[in-house]
Amino acid sequence: MLDIEDGPSPKKHRRNSKAVDAVAAAERRKQIDAERRQLPAWAARDKLLQLLQEHRTLVLVGETGSGKTTQIPQLLLSARFGSIAASDKFISQNAGEVGPSDDVKSPYEGAGVVDRDGVFRSAVNHEGRTQFNHHTSTGSDVNGVSDHGGPEQQTGIRSVGGSGGSRVYGGAIAVTQPRRVAAMTVARRVAEEMGTKLGDKVGYAIRFEDVTSSSTRIKYMTDGLLLREALVDPMLSRYRVVIIDEAHERTVHTDVLFGLLKGVQVRRGDDFRLIVMSATLDTARFVDYFPGAVAALIRGRQFPVRVMYTAKPEDNYLDAAINATLQVHSDEGEGDILVFLTGQDEIDSAERLLKEHLAALQGSRGASSSGCRELLVLPIYAALPPEQQMKVFEPAPEGQRKAILATNIAETSITIPGVRYVIDTGHVKARDYNAKLGLESLAVVPVSQAQARQRSGRAGREGPGKAFRLYTEADFAVLEPTTPPEITRCNLGSVVLQLKAMGIHDVLGFDFMDPPPRAAILRSLELLYALGALDATGCLTEEVGRRLSRLPVDPMFGRVLLAATEMGCGQEAVAVVAMVSTENVFHTPRQKEREWRAARLKFISREGDHLTLLNVFRGFRELPKESNKARTAWCSDNFINIRAMRKAEDIYEQLVRFLGPPSPPGLGLQLATCGEDSTPLRRALTAGLFPHAAKLQPDGSYRVLATGRQVFLHPSSVLLDRKPDCLVFNELMHTTRTYARDAVAIEARWLPELAPAAFAVKSAAAIAGAGVGTSGGSR
Partner DNA sequence: GGGTTAGGGT
Is 253 among the residues that bind DNA (CB under 7 A)?
yes
Quote the CA–CA distance of 33 and 647 in Å, as a whole number: 37
Given a contact cutoff of 8 angstroms between Cβ atoms, the answer to whether 205 and 212 are in contact is yes
Q: CB under 8 Å, gap of 24 or more: what pairs does 88-93 form?
A: 88/194, 88/201, 89/195, 90/33, 90/193, 90/194, 90/195
- CA–CA–CA angle 603, 606, 612 (5° rounding): 35
Using the rule CB under 7 A, which residue among 90, 317, 471, 739 binds DNA?
Answer: 739
Helix, strand or coil, per DSSP, at residue 692: helix
CA-closest candidate to residue 602, choices 591, 626, 586? 586
List alpha helices for 234-371, DSSP H. 252-268, 284-289, 317-331, 344-365
Q: Is 178 in the site for DNA (CB under 7 A)?
A: yes
Determine which residue in the list 363, 503, 698, 715 makes contact with DNA, applying CB under 7 A: 715
Confirm or reject binding of residue 344 to DNA (CB under 7 A).
yes
Which of these segments, 43-51, 152-160, 220-228, 360-368, binds DNA (CB under 7 A)? 220-228
Nearer to DNA, 358 or 410 (CB): 410
* Residue 735 binds DNA, judged by CB under 7 A: yes
The whole-angstrom separation of Cα 65 and Cα 98 is: 21
d(CA 530, CA 540): 12
Interaction of residue 663 with DNA, rule CB under 7 A: no
> How many Å apart are CA 145 and CA 66, to the nearest integer?
11
Among 721, 749, 763, 766, binds DNA (CB under 7 A): 721
- Tell me the residue type at 237: S
| Closest to 609 measured CA to CA, from 731, 512, 496 | 731
* CB closer to DNA out of 153 and 584: 584
Considering only 553, 642, 706, 751, the residue that binds DNA (CB under 7 A) is 553
Q: Site residues for DNA, window 189-208 (CB under 7 A)? A: 206-207
Binding DNA (rule: CB under 7 A), the pick from 225, 328, 403, 694 is 225
The answer to the question of residue 234 lying near DNA (CB under 7 A) is: no
Length of the chain, in residues: 779
The answer to whether residue 252 forms part of the interface with DNA (CB under 7 A) is yes
Q: Is 254 in the site for DNA (CB under 7 A)?
A: no
Find the distance separating the first CA and the last CA of the chain, reported in whole Å.
Answer: 84
350 binds DNA (CB under 7 A): no
Neighbours of 372 (CB within 10 A): 13
Nearer to DNA, 189 or 429 (CB): 429
Q: Does 714 bind DNA (CB under 7 A)?
A: yes
φ and ψ at residue 204, rounded to 5 degrees: -145, 160
User: What 3-state class would DSSP assign to 303?
Assistant: coil
Identify which range of 153-161, 163-171, 428-436, 504-512 contacts DNA by CB under 7 A. 428-436
Site string for DNA, 458-497 (x = CB under 7 A): ----------------------------x-------x---
How far is Cα 603 from Cα 600, in angstroms, rounded to an integer? Answer: 6
C-beta separation of 522 from 492 below 8 A: no
CB of residue 757 vs DNA: minimum separation in angstroms? 22
Asked if 245 and 186 count as a contact pair (C-beta separation under 8 A), the reply is no
How far is C-alpha 110 from the geometric centre of its chain's CA atoms? 34
Residue 430 interacting with DNA (CB under 7 A): yes
Does residue 551 belong to the site contacting DNA (CB under 7 A)? yes
* Residue from the set 4, 19, 32, 231 that interacts with DNA by CB under 7 A: 231
Angle at 576 between CA 572 and CA 582, to 5 degrees: 150
Closest CB to DNA among residues 22, 442: 442
The pattern of x and - marking residues 593 through 632 that bind DNA according to CB under 7 A reads x---------------------------------------
> What is the distance, to the nearest Å, from the Cα of residue 709 to the centroid of all Cα atoms in its chain?
32
**At 385, is the secondary structure helix, strand, or coil?**
coil
Closest approach of DNA to the CB of residue 363, in Å: 32
| Binding status of residue 736 toward DNA by CB under 7 A | yes
**C-alpha separations of 391 from 132, 344, 376, 386 in Å:** 29, 17, 10, 9
CB atoms within 10 A of CB 111: 15
What minimum distance in Å lies between the beta carbon of 228 and DNA?
Answer: 3
- Measured from the CB atom, the residue of 481 and 664 that comes closer to DNA is 664
Q: Is 583 in the site for DNA (CB under 7 A)?
A: yes
Residues numbered 11-70 forming contacts with DNA, rule: CB under 7 A? none
Asked if 153 is part of the footprint of DNA (rule: CB under 7 A), the reply reads no
Q: Which is nearer to DNA, 43 or 184 (CB)?
A: 184
554 binds DNA (CB under 7 A): yes
Nearest to 452 by CA among 119, 137, 114, 64: 119
**Stretches 271-279, 301-309, 429-437, 533-541: which one binds DNA (CB under 7 A)?**
429-437
Q: What is the DSSP letter of 640?
A: B
- 229 near DNA (CB under 7 A): yes
Give the interface with DNA as residue ranges (CB under 7 A).
Answer: 178-181, 206-207, 222, 224-225, 228-229, 231-232, 251-253, 342-345, 381-383, 407-409, 413-414, 428-431, 442, 486, 494, 550-554, 581, 583-584, 588, 593, 654, 658, 664-665, 700, 712, 714-716, 720-721, 733, 735-737, 739, 741
